[in-house]
Chains A and B, each alone.
Chain A
Amino acid sequence: MLFRYLFILLVLLPIKSLALIEVDITRGNLSPLPVAVSPLAIDKNSKDNFKKILKKENLGSEISLIVENNLKQSGLFNPLNKDAFLQAPDIANLKPRFEDWNLIKAQALVTGKVTFVDEKLRVEFRLWDVLAGKEMMALAFTTVPENWRRVGHIITDKVYERLTGEKGYFDTRIIYIAEEGPKTNRIKKLAIMDQDGFNNKFLTLGNELVLTPRFSPTNQMVTYLSYFRNLPRVYLLDIETGMQEVVGDFPGMTFAPRFSPDGKKIIMSFAKDGNSDIYTMDLENRIVERISNHPSIDTSPSYSPDGKYITFNSDRSGYQQIYIMSNNGKNVKRISFGNGLYGTPVWSPRGDLIAFTKLHKGKFYIGVMRTDGTGERLLTENFYQEAPSWSPNGRVLIFYRETKTNAKGEGFSAKLWSIDLTGYNEKMVETETDASDPSWSSLLGN
């Protein structure tokens, strides 16, 4: 009996003292993560070989610079100044002295090695968690030396994905309209470049007016609109071979052809019998199918990532607003209800948001809203800007912005800009000429 009492006592007594202290941490800082990108180590033989082939003094440093710039441009990372690095690249790649990197407040470290093997470029890289003192990732790539910039972008994508939890967007390209000359007599060419502005190429000569280029899901093809003898034509262009193909001549005003997510169709709007509606064209059999049928003007269609829905803008309510419908044209539903005019809706690759251009009280805005029209957020405001296009991870938007001309008609320019989904990190994207109508490719490795 006595033991039973004692047992009960022993069980009951420590009830309170066992309670573990819990502290809820619901806030943190959103400042860029300090990252050290050590120059990639390179041996003398490889250095000499790459110097001969690529005319680059130190390819290891060049590749690390690409990674550093990409991370910085993302706005989510703060690459630390290389002058502060205490450890040599070759030793750091083998086993970093974490105390040294901790000292300069680095939380992550990128190291690596570049070698010349069988006429090819081999790049190894490692990502280290400085505070935990452990390796987070190690990968190696082998490619032709000319692809060295892409290797830098791929490394950045891997680092970005490992540290943020979402896919990167650095190994991508942007197709856009390069513009030159005075505003009244612009020469417009189709151009393509890496997302960081390098490797710029013109794909057309500028003899004809070109508009609204869009990538296919595989990035191999581009569809765009061109005016030939003042008649709108929809073209397909193979980027690798340079082969062009006319998909069709369409009557009246034709707008913004865009691929379906499976790449088998093109969706666009054109005017038939004076009424603009949305149509698709099957690229195999060239059959054109009418999707929307309304006396109002329906334009700018864009598929959802799963291909089941289409968003577009229409003035059927009296003012230009954004709508969504099923891919067969049924179940049309208006989703924008704010003040002003809404246009150029583009479905996010993540499927959760729709980006748009809004005109309100003489100002142009780039914004996003959920697919049911709730949660509208205006990210940036300016005199004139439009045509947002999503980065493949749905984190960044690229669009173009025009400046006001003065009384003499001077000072006009059109430039590409990018902005983070949060509304931060607004940046001009460097291009050789003036630029408009950008379209972001998906990841090239996919």
Chain B
Amino acid sequence: MDRNVFISFGLHTLLVIITAMSLPFLAKKPINLPPIVSVELIQISDKTNIPFAPKAKKIIEKVKEKEKKLVSEQAPPKKIKKLKPDAVPLPDEKIEKIKKIKDEKQNPEKVETEIKQISEFEKKELFDTNNIAALIDKSKVEIAETNKKQDKVTQNQDKKMDFGGLTLSEEDALKAQIFGCWSIPLGLPFNEDLLVRIKLQLKPDGSIIRTEIIDHARMNRPGQAFYKVLAESALRAIKLCQPLRVPTTGYERWKDMQLNFDAREMLEG
């Protein structure tokens, strides 16, 4: 009796663990990714080489001047006291030290702590020179942000690989390739259902092993002659494009794939 209870308990525990690991609704929530925005990626150095526009240069200089002013106006005199509160410095030493402190205050890089002390209102008026640079070269920010996002996605890509599905960049690359190969027949009636779904079986290099039109029977239905024309154009596109731009890894997840060719958007537009 006890033995059976023990076995039952063990198996139930195993079941709970495996279920928790595999069931889709218990897996991590999918990332709510924003809609795809096509961005042309360009090689860009850490710092932009583009010279500041004359207007921006003026703004930067103004800001620098303002910062200088802020530093000189708001520098707390406390530090002088704190240097050696108990010792009485010699006159020459004192002058030298004050000079040194003043010099330090003139250096904007070291003023960061002081700037932090100003009010939020004043902060808004301050320009960050890096931001200005970013404004001038907006693509830099966008790239940086994309990189950041991509970094995050990459962590999930590994997880995705386990479960299947293409990453956004992989899907984009494949779409872009097929867009170029698909010559849409222009005579199709755009008020009809112009969706052709084709199942593919792929080799690791992206070449096609097998294609299958899912709704094949529709090709021979009366009044659906246009569907045959559309399906053939989609098949031509796949053949023309092969080898397809597939990921270099994770063959198991994409060896079978379905392409949904929809001509409505193009023909209506």
Interface residues of A (CB under 8 A from B): 1-2, 5, 8-9, 12-13, 15-17, 19-31, 33, 76, 107, 129, 131-132, 136, 160, 162-166, 393, 395, 422
Contact = CB atoms under 8 A, between A and B. Distances in A.
A21 B165 contact: yes
B22 interface: yes
A20 B257 contact: yes
Interface stretch (B57-65, B67-75, B236-244): B236-244
Contacts of B127: none
A21 B257 contact: yes
Interface stretch (B44-52, B103-111, B171-179): B171-179
Contact of A21 (B183, B225, B254, B266): B254
Contacts of B260: 22-25
Interface stretch (B136-144, B145-153, B226-234): B226-234
B257 A129 contact: no
B183 A25 contact: no
A131 B235 CA distance: 9
B203 interface: no
B258 A165 contact: no
Contact of A28 (B15, B184, B229): B184
Contacts, number: 135
B21 to A, nearest CB: 9
Nearest to B192: A165
A348 B246 CA distance: 45
Contacts of B163: 16-17, 19
Contacts of B183: 28-31, 33, 107
Contact of A27 (B27, B179, B229, B235): B179
A279 B166 CA distance: 65
A134 to B, nearest CB: 10
Given A17-B163, A25-B260, A132-B232, 6 more contacts: A5-B11, A15-B22, A20-B258, A27-B266, A131-B239, A393-B187
Contact of B15 (A5, A30, A76): A5
A25 B236 contact: no
A28 B164 contact: no
A162 B166 contact: no
Nearest to A21: B257
A21 B188 contact: no
A27 B259 CA distance: 12
Contacts of B11: 2, 5
B89 interface: no
B133 interface: no
Interface residues of B, number: 53
A395 B237 contact: no
B24 interface: yes
Contacts of A395: 187
A163 B229 CA distance: 6
A19 to B, nearest CB: 5
A131 B256 contact: no
A136 B219 CA distance: 14
Contacts of B164: 16-17, 19, 21
7 contacts: A17-B164, A23-B257, A25-B237, A25-B260, A28-B233, A164-B186, A166-B226
Nearest to B22: A13
Contact of A164 (B187, B199, B262): B187
Nearest to B183: A33
Contacts of B253: 21
B236 A107 contact: yes
A213 to B, nearest CB: 28
B145 to A, nearest CB: 26
Contacts of A15: 22-24
A19 B165 contact: yes
A400 B185 CA distance: 28
Nearest to B163: A16
A16 B22 contact: yes
B265 to A, nearest CB: 5
B254 A26 contact: no
B256 A21 contact: yes
A24 B23 contact: no
A22 B214 CA distance: 13
Contacts of A163: 185, 229
B23 A26 contact: no
Contacts of A162: 229
B229 A26 contact: no
B187 A165 contact: yes
Nearest to B244: A23
A240 B81 CA distance: 116
A25 B261 contact: yes
